[in-house]
Amino acid sequence: MMKKLLYSLSFFALIATPTVAQTADVNQYIMYFPFDNDLNDASSQNVVLNPKIPTSVVDTYAPGQFGDAALFNDKPYITSNSIFNAGDSFSILMWVNFNSLTSSGPGTPKLMHQEDEGPTSTFLAGRPLQIATAAVTVNTSFGEAVSNSSSTPPLNTWVHIALVMDKTAQTVKLYIDGVEDTSNTIGNPIKVDNKTNSAQISVGVQKNSTTAGLLDAYIDDFVITTEVLDAATINNIITNGAAAGGLLSTDDAISDDVRLQLYRNDQNQLKVDSNISFDRYLIYNTLGQQLNSGALEQDSIEIDALSKGIYIVKLFSETTGHVLTRKVAL
């Protein structure tokens, strides 16, 4: 079943969910692929990934940074129903684990490469996120502005790549593992001529091809949003995942002297950070079904048995009588 970002939480209508700083707005996601054992879009846009070669389909998944990751090894795909426009502001984020930095076909491997739209004199605003030929670095190209990462990405290691195009500021920034690596001014086709390109996106292959620039890498938590993200928000997504914009838990103060936050201690634990001592917990899914309960030991909750998704955590303090509830995204 397709996993959607918009959940029905009427059962928990009384739970406060104030705005949390440094969190991406999931309503601005124009595609989001968790790659959790499928190729379904979890945004509200219903973007579809179709194999460019009908007989070559992605069928291998392995543990990624959040849930599973999909292996694009010489299996080229193209989007359908994408509304991505390379001439407008946007952010692209993904986790990548490269098996190789060379292509089995001609050219250099492409994480994603936008197809042609109309005559080149009118369109072709950009070719986002590919691997450059010269130094085998992460490369971006937007309207004559090319940015190469400062170093070659490692093999067999997860690396987070984020590209932020701010049309208003006229900048394109490349972040590697949450750190700004390069920054350029966007080129004249976008800045002066206001060119656009809304063509569909090839994943793991060069535009207009099924054999050039083939990729051999795992991809996880792949997002394109129309929001211009800053470093703090990118790092929040790196830490907590993109499913809820990087939001792990709400931090609504019950009163001036009560504080509670939940954050991921590691992949198997939630850490409870509060000035109240809690004794036990309950965990529900968004349908109100109780999934887990137990005593709170060392201010930590075991979550290794929970799959990726939205949950409600209820905490009880016998000392103070407080019962606090938090919505979390795992």
24, 242 contact by CB (below 8 A): yes
297, with CB counted inside 10 A (0-12, 13-18, 19+), is exposed
DSSP H or E run through 174:
strand 171-176
Any bridge partners for residue 92, and if so which?
A: 163, 224
* Residue 7 to residue 64: CA distance in whole angstroms: 24
- Per-residue pLDDT, 17: 37
Judge if 185 and 299 occupy the same domain: no
Task: Check the CA dihedral 82-83-86-90 and report its sign.
Answer: negative
- Per-residue pLDDT, 175: 92
Domain contains 195: yes
Domain contains 11: no
66, 189 contact by CB (below 8 A): no
pLDDT confidence of 247, banded at 50, 70, 90? low
Judge if 173 and 106 occupy the same domain: yes
Domain that holds residue 131: 22-240
281, 313 contact by CB (below 8 A): yes
Secondary structure (3-state) at 27: helix
* Residue 267 to residue 305: CA distance in whole angstroms: 11
- Per-residue pLDDT, 30: 95
CATH of the domain at 290: 2.60.40
Secondary structure (3-state) at 94: strand
Domain contains 246: no
Question: Which amino acid type is present at position 309?
Answer: G
Judge if 264 and 159 occupy the same domain: no
- Per-residue pLDDT, 6: 34
66, 309 contact by CB (below 8 A): no
Judge if 210 and 85 occupy the same domain: yes
Task: Check the CA dihedral 6-11-23-158 and report its sign.
Answer: negative
Q: Which of 176-185, 207-216, 238-247 has the lowest mean pLDDT?
A: 238-247
Q: pLDDT tens digit string along 252-298? A: 445 557 778 787 766 678 888 888 889 999 888 766 678 888 998 88
Judge if 148 and 231 occupy the same domain: yes
282, 293 contact by CB (below 8 A): yes
Residue 88 has pLDDT above 80, yes or no: yes
Domain contains 251: no
318, 279 contact by CB (below 8 A): yes
- Per-residue pLDDT, 169: 95
143 or 104, which is more confident? 104
pLDDT confidence of 21, banded at 50, 70, 90? very low
**Segment 183-188 long-range contacts (CB within 8 Å, at least 24 positions apart):** 183/147, 184/142, 184/145, 184/146, 184/147, 185/145, 186/142, 186/143, 186/145, 187/142, 187/143, 187/144, 187/145, 188/143, 188/144
Q: pLDDT tens digit string along 313-327? A: 888 888 888 888 777
Judge if 207 and 86 occupy the same domain: yes
Domain contains 82: yes
Average pLDDT, the chain: 81
Judge if 217 and 281 occupy the same domain: no
- Per-residue pLDDT, 13: 31
- Per-residue pLDDT, 289: 74
**Runs of H (alpha helix) within the chain:** 188-191, 231-240
- Per-residue pLDDT, 161: 92
Judge if 195 and 320 occupy the same domain: no
CATH of the domain at 107: 2.60.120.200
Q: How many domains is the chain partitioned into structurally?
A: 2
DSSP H or E run through 161:
strand 158-166
pTM of the model as a whole: 0.71
pLDDT confidence of 191, banded at 50, 70, 90? confident
Q: Closest by alpha carbon to 74, among 92, 97, 99?
A: 99
Domain contains 7: no
Judge if 223 and 265 occupy the same domain: no
Q: pLDDT tens digit string along 136-158? A: 677 777 666 777 888 888 899 99
pLDDT confidence of 38, banded at 50, 70, 90? very high
